[in-house]
Amino acid sequence: MTTRELGRTGVRISPIGLGSAQFSGGGSGTFFPALAQSQVDAIVKAAVDGGITWFDSAEGYGKGRSERSLSAALAHAGTQPGNVTVSTKWTPLVRTARSIERTIGDRIANLAPYPVDLHQIHVPYGSLSSIRAQARAMAHLVEAGKIRSVGVSNFSARQMETAHQELAEHGVPLAANQIQINLLHRKIETNGVLETARRLGITLIAYVPLRSGMLTGKLHADRTLVARLPRQRRLLTGISTKSLDRTTPLIEELRTIAAAHRATVGQVALAWLITYYGDTVVATPGASKPHHAEEAAGAMKIALSDEETRRLADLSTQVTR
Ligand SMILES: NC(=O)c1ccc[n+]([C@@H]2O[C@H](COP(=O)([O-])OP(=O)(O)OC[C@H]3O[C@@H](n4cnc5c(N)ncnc54)[C@H](OP(=O)(O)O)[C@@H]3O)[C@@H](O)[C@H]2O)c1
């Protein structure tokens, strides 16, 4: 599958990237247990070898731990700066927009030698400054050559418009909005986010594209795995015995289509995301094992037919009704 432009920035990325919340170092309040750096190295190498060219992190993932772990793993894989796209995020909580400029040095140091190609405002709430002031601070970082492009995350259609307008006054495009999109969560189609992104040329980065593992079918196949997931992860992603029952018809259809393509259930779920919405949506799945990253990369090679794509969309509507 060919690369896609990130918003209207000229930066080109693979339709599937790799998320790195899994590299946060564990600890209380995190969704994922700590991974050894050797495991992170193997995951990132599998992604690079499979053709994934962009990697997404955040200040909030273990207070920069994920950023450091990611850059170390990219270096371990022999990846040259400039050959991959790296994105990260600023945490707005109880901070003014000035902290964007105060903390960029940490982002750059943690990710070095890989430049910050995309810097995102992690959430639209919690900051002591307006969205306009935050967008302005981001634009200053572009003007200063510290970051290449600007994105937001979890922004509504209206909030996207506001950030877009403020950035436009500085001649900077709003590159992306990173938001939850998957076969069990398609709110962008009705809340104006998809329409706004298309109209303004903003890429939507789908996070939790596998619904935290539910869309791989593994929890449906072995329900004992559910109890082993951290409570917070189950609650926030709606993973329960009841939701597994409700979504079984969709997983069965994914299995049928996966068999026809010699693929896995999760690969078809990812392929659907980057097909159904055209070029507007790219996906950033997370991986805690090398084969997760390998499968994610392989999803870019699956060509779903119109009929398969539509069948999955119909079933997804039925099971989430
Ligand atoms: N901007 C935001 O506010 C925001 C919010 C959430 C996430 N994100 C980003 O989006 C990324 C993706 O979200 P996510 O990782 O939470 O959810 P996800 O991609 O839907 O699910 C990832 C999890 O699914 C399982 N998995 C992945 N590939 C698999 C495979 N081939 N076979 C079996 N299981 C597989 C693994 O679970 P196990 O580890 O349990 O095996 C993995 O940790 C994150 O890493 C993060 O970078 C952003």
Give the integer Cα–Cα distance in Å for 298 and 309. Answer: 18
Q: Which of 288, 294, 295, 302 to mutate to test the pocket of ligand 1 (most atoms within 8 A of CB)?
A: 288
Which of the four pLDDT bands, split at 50, 70 and 90, describes residue 90?
very high
Instruction: Give the residue among 104, 96, 150 at the shortest CA–CA distance from 126.
Output: 96
List the chain domain ranges: 4-211+275-302
> What is the reported pLDDT for 239?
94
Between 146 and 28, name the one with better pLDDT: 146
Atom of ligand 1 at shortest distance to CA of 210?
20
pLDDT over 90 at 125, yes or no: yes
> What is the reported pLDDT for 28?
64
Total number of residues shown for the chain = 321
Mean pLDDT of 68-75: 98
Mean pLDDT of 280-300: 98
Chain segment 183-235, per-residue pLDDT in tens: 999 999 999 999 999 999 999 999 999 999 999 999 999 999 999 998 889 99
Residue 86, SS3 per DSSP: strand
Mean pLDDT of 137-164: 98
Residues at CB less than 6 angstroms from ligand 1: 19-22, 32, 56, 153-154, 178, 207-213, 216, 218, 266, 284-288, 292, 295
In CATH terms, the superfamily for domain 4-211+275-302 is: NADP-dependent oxidoreductase domain (3.20.20.100)
Assign 3-state DSSP to the chain and report helix, strand, coil percentages, each to 5: 50, 15, 35
> What is the reported pLDDT for 31?
84
Mean pLDDT of 49-70: 97
Averaged pLDDT of the chain: 97
> What is the reported pLDDT for 27?
74
Give the integer Cα–Cα distance in Å for 214 and 254. Answer: 12
> What is the reported pLDDT for 1?
64
